[in-house]
Amino acid sequence: MRRHVAVEVMPMDQPEMLITKFHLVRAGKAYPFCIDTWDFMDKLNPAAVDQSLAYFKMQYRQQGYDSDRIVPGGYVNLSEHYCRYLPWLRSIQMRQPPQYDVYGRFILAFARETRERVLGMLNAQQQFRFEGSLQTVRYTRSLEEAAQSKVCIDLPGNGDFCFRLIDYLGIGACVVAARHRTILHVPLEDRKHLVYAKEDLSDFVELCQYYLQHDDERNQIVQNSREFFDRYLHPDQLGAYYLFTALKEIRKNSRLDA
């Protein structure tokens, strides 16, 4: 948000872990807001919701919530330094020949059944080369491997959205994903920004193979995903969305108080 407004860091009581309260000051008056980064879409802090003009929920449930104060919070990259790596990663993705057909690394601490099943299918097939495992590697190495891959896979963790997905979109990737039950502040479109598998995941291998064989369609998704990140998920853009939404709620509140 520092790109858009002056930010002052000061002590402030916080509702609970993984919920950040902040004030936006306008005309000398402080207005309260919260950002909820819990992985669980059904977990909220009711007191924080009631005390906020807007409660930004990152794992925002598709069907919404009972309170209109709860709004989609988008999602972020794993590292605050991610954008420093982007020119290098995009250069690899756009200028170097791919090293891998399909890529994905995961651990079993989260969504174990789903991850074991999908990786089992990918390891068992003989149609293409799958680069992945149930172990992680150094963060920058994983980003480089993703940039060198034709197709990247996205599976749930504690929540439906993972940092990994946002990292892929920023690089520009053809992502085949388990269907999300959560939405961003601007919804991802199936077959445009990524490719969703069936609910039972039975077509995961088939989808990977299809997009390996259809370069034009794959490359269009790569371009679309990169543009989506630049327009909606880059930290500067996400910060602007938060401020726009907050100011809208402040204006609404001011009219009610008038």
Give the pTM. 0.92
- Predicted confidence at residue 255, as pLDDT, reads 66
Which domains does the chain possess? 19-76+235-257 (no CATH), 82-232 (3.40.50.2000)
pLDDT digits (tens, 9 = 90+) for 126-155: 999 999 877 788 999 999 999 999 999 999
pLDDT digits (tens, 9 = 90+) for 203-214: 999 999 999 999
Element holding 128 (H helix, E strand):
none
H-helix segments, 53-203: 82-95, 112-124, 139-147, 163-171
- The CA distance from 143 to 75, in Å, is 18
- Predicted confidence at residue 1, as pLDDT, reads 65
**pLDDT higher than threshold 90 for residue 109:** no
Please give the share of the chain, as a percent, with pLDDT higher than 70.
98
What residues contact 105, with CB distance under 8 A and at least 6 apart? Answer: 132, 133, 134, 135, 136, 137, 142, 145
| Confidence at 17, pLDDT banded by 50, 70, 90 | confident
Average pLDDT over residues 226-245: 97
Determine contact, residues 152/174, Cβ cutoff 8 Å: yes
- The CA distance from 173 to 170, in Å, is 8
Determine contact, residues 75/184, Cβ cutoff 8 Å: yes
Please give the share of the chain, as a percent, with pLDDT higher than 90.
78
Q: With CA atoms as reference, report the closest residue to 160 among 37, 19, 39.
A: 39
User: What token pair was written down for 257?
Assistant: 């108080």
- Predicted confidence at residue 254, as pLDDT, reads 72
- Predicted confidence at residue 256, as pLDDT, reads 54
**pLDDT higher than threshold 50 for residue 2:** yes
Q: Which residue has the higher pLDDT, 10 or 213?
A: 213
